[in-house]
Amino acid sequence: MKTELRISDDIVLPSDQELMDLLGEKIYQYYKNLAKTIASSFNPDVEIWGDGSRRGKYFNGYYVYKKFIEIQLFLDSKFLKFELWLRKMHRVKIERHVDIFNEKTRKKFEEDGSRYVGFRFRDENDKNDEDFQDAIKVIEILSSTRRRKGTEPA
């Protein structure tokens, strides 16, 4: 199934060069890798581009209806915010693997029981690489499907 692209009337879809100028090279690479991983892992039903309002210059969202997952990316000057809104079953799935995350991310899951999971990437932050790896791990955990006993492919 092809992902439906929706672009808000209040923006012009930014080019890759405009995004690189906005985010900076390192944060732009994080953004491109996150977007690529989301697209290949989930095959989202809808991708939305819009004005980020007070949260950034641009909003790039993905909706995966079959898994009830909403992914939001807010892009601003040298800043990327990655947010996931999850159902309880998805949060439980992530919490089963909490030991693979860095300490900061592990604490997020152990202390906060909300449906929201967020990562922020700023150009000057030295911890970006660890947080980025954890964001990718979250996507991979959520995209994996576990087969029930007796339903293995023939």
The whole-chain average pLDDT of the chain stands at: 86
The DSSP symbol for 100 reads G
Amino acid letter for position 79: F
User: Please, which residues have CB within 8 angstroms of residue 98's CB and are 6 or more apart in sequence?
Assistant: 106, 109, 110
Distant-in-sequence contacts of 89-93, Cβ < 8 A, 24+ apart? 90/142, 91/115, 91/117, 93/141, 93/142
Angstrom distance (rounded) from CA 20 to CA 35: 14
Mean pLDDT score, 102-118: 82
Cβ within 8 Å of residue 10, ≥6 positions away: 50, 51
Q: What is the pLDDT of residue 149?
A: 47
Provide the residue ranges of all domains of the chain, joining segments of one domain with +: 4-142
The 3-state DSSP composition of the chain as helix, strand, coil percent (nearest 5) reads 45, 25, 30
Q: Name the pLDDT band for 67 (thresholds 50, 70, 90).
A: confident
pTM for this one? 0.84
Q: How confident is the model at residue 62 (pLDDT cuts 50, 70, 90)?
A: very high
In the structure, what pLDDT confidence band is assigned to residue 151 with cuts at 50, 70 and 90?
very low
